[in-house]
Chains A and B, each alone.
Chain A
Amino acid sequence: MAILINPDGTRHWRLLTPGQQRWRWAGWLALVALTVFCWRIMTADTIWAFVTDAPRQAQDIFGRMLPPRWIYINQLWQAIWDTINIATLGTLIAIVLATPLAFLAARNTTPSVLFIRPVALFIIVASRSINALIWGLLLVAVLGPGVLAGIIAIALRSIGFIGKLLYEAIEEIDETQVEAIRATGASQAQVMGYGIWPQILPAFATISVFRWDINIRESTVLGLVGAGGLGLALEGALNTLAWPQVSLILLIILVTVVISEWITAKVRKVII
């Protein structure tokens, strides 16, 4: 904030000093220049005929999509079951692996701040920075297409997510309770069980359910890279240009996601 004093002595209030304002304009200018520059590089290879043609294409595709081929749902039950399994089992495996990892990564519970904590943090970061679809791509190349690759892909991606949120929750616990349990002569395991665990239990449950909800979304598309579930059916329908089937699958994905969101909201309300 700045107050300018005019030549005639009146004071004028303004939000920014002229210097700040110049910097801000320079920043905006740089941003616009960068955007234009990126735009030119990005669209260098774009075929504009396809772009101007898009509304007609869209009309064509949506025309073909409607109405969905409802009867096709009888072939999708297996895929729906697989999708739910990929998400649920993947989340469970991730929880089992991420919980000890979080205890190793949290500053107040790690056995060694110097050696073990950085390793645990690195595992968390590496798992988080690769998308579930890329994990799926790698695992399908290794394990072959199927549900197993999907489950492991979901698990590998979720370890970092659950691990990060959980270790942050562990670092925020109330130390006095831990102290109190320790003062009764409890062993390390009892301190964990009675001092730390009850404090992070609500966070643990919310994080797990939250990640399960995300995983349901991701598992619906994992099949695009061959990792089983609804995505596999979508891939098949797209490759054969069976648009009425595509629209039915998209509808099912939407319904699945809405139901999982509803379950998540219910569970969170019970926990909190």
Chain B
Amino acid sequence: MTATTGPARIWKRPRLVEQTWLRWAIILAVLLYLGLAFGSIDVNWTRVSEGLVRAARLFSGFLQPDFTSRWGDIQQGLIESLTMTVCATVFGLVLALPIGLGAARNIAPLWLYGLCRAIIALARAFQEIIVAILFVAMFGFGTFAGFLTLSVSTIGFLSKLIADDIEEIDPAQVEAIRATGGGFWQVMDYAVASQVMPRFVGLTAYKVDINFRESSVIGIVGAGGIGATLNTALDRYEFDSAAAILLIIIGIVMLCEYASGWIRKAMA
């Protein structure tokens, strides 16, 4: 009897890539790329060792942040960032609503759909920071350029998501309202808006959160806000002030994130 049982069978888990040669080719290609990529990093080690002293100062700055000596600048930057965020979100929202409606295939005619989708693609093409550079060149330094940048990104973000949401609504409700003799606006109000509103409010809250984060960055290229203050502090090597600014940014971002999470949960 024992003769019929062969050697003990060992189970091996299936490989991710079945063919042996392909597996080795992929591994070799990845190794080759990593070798080339790491080889092309050009590190100036003396500069890095000098930098470590600065890293220590930066780190000690975090332990003892200096809120007071540049408080005027910090306050100014914060007010700019916050007002920019509010204005840009509201302004972007007002423009995003009609564009979003126009970009939903189930309620807009084809020519309007194409136009609105093109606007959305254009608004989303570049990162905020590049848009900010262009707007600063056109409108001059300061919060107005930042406000326009955030507005453009809000339009791109909200109108795309609104349009995608509207395209996914339940057509039966639209049908029902239309069957009672409801006009265009009544269909919008009672069939479309009532279905997309909760998600829409959640998205707007989320965008407020994103806009504040972005407003802390676009200041680096001259578009105002707390980012400009941070950039100045780092340029002057005032790491304790920079640490204070970063801590404030982290605090507000966390606050925004919790608030927007809470709003989304409450609306859902």
Contact = CB atoms under 8 A, between A and B. Distances in A.
Nearest to B47: A144
B220 A133 contact: yes
B29 to A, nearest CB: 13
- The A contact surface, by secondary structure, is helix
Nearest to A249: B130
A51 B144 contact: yes
A143 B216 contact: no
Interface in A133-171: 133-134, 137-138, 141-144, 146-148, 151
Interface stretch (B78-86, B101-109, B168-176, B259-267): B78-86
Interface stretch (A35-43, A67-75, A96-104, A105-113): A35-43
Interface string A228-253: 00000010001000000000001001
Interface in B54-77: 54-55, 58
B interface, how many residues as a size bin?
Answer: 35 or more
A148 B51 CA distance: 13
A57 B137 contact: yes
A218 interface: yes
Contact of B254 (A47, A81, A129, A254): A129
A interface, how many residues as a size bin?
Answer: 35 or more
Given A134-B216, A137-B234, A146-B43, A42 B147 contact: yes
B253 A35 contact: no
28 contacts: A35-B87, A35-B90, A42-B84, A42-B144, A43-B144, A47-B140, A47-B142, A50-B144, A51-B139, A61-B138, A88-B33, A88-B37, A129-B250, A130-B249, A130-B250, A131-B216, A131-B217, A134-B216, A134-B217, A134-B227, A141-B239, A142-B55, A144-B47, A146-B41, A146-B43, A147-B40, A234-B133, A250-B130
Interface of B: 13, 33, 37-38, 40-44, 47-48, 50-52, 54-55, 58, 79-80, 82-84, 86-87, 90, 125-127, 129-130, 133-134, 137-140, 142-144, 147, 190, 213-214, 216-217, 220-221, 227, 230-231, 234, 237, 239, 242, 246, 249-250, 253-254, 257
The 4 lowest CB-CB distance pairs between A and B, nearest first, are: A50-B140, A38-B83, A42-B83, A129-B253
Interface of A: 15, 31, 34-35, 38-39, 41-43, 45-47, 50-51, 54, 57-58, 61, 81-82, 85, 88-89, 125-126, 129-131, 133-134, 137-138, 141-144, 146-148, 151, 194, 217-218, 220-221, 224-225, 234, 238, 250, 253-254
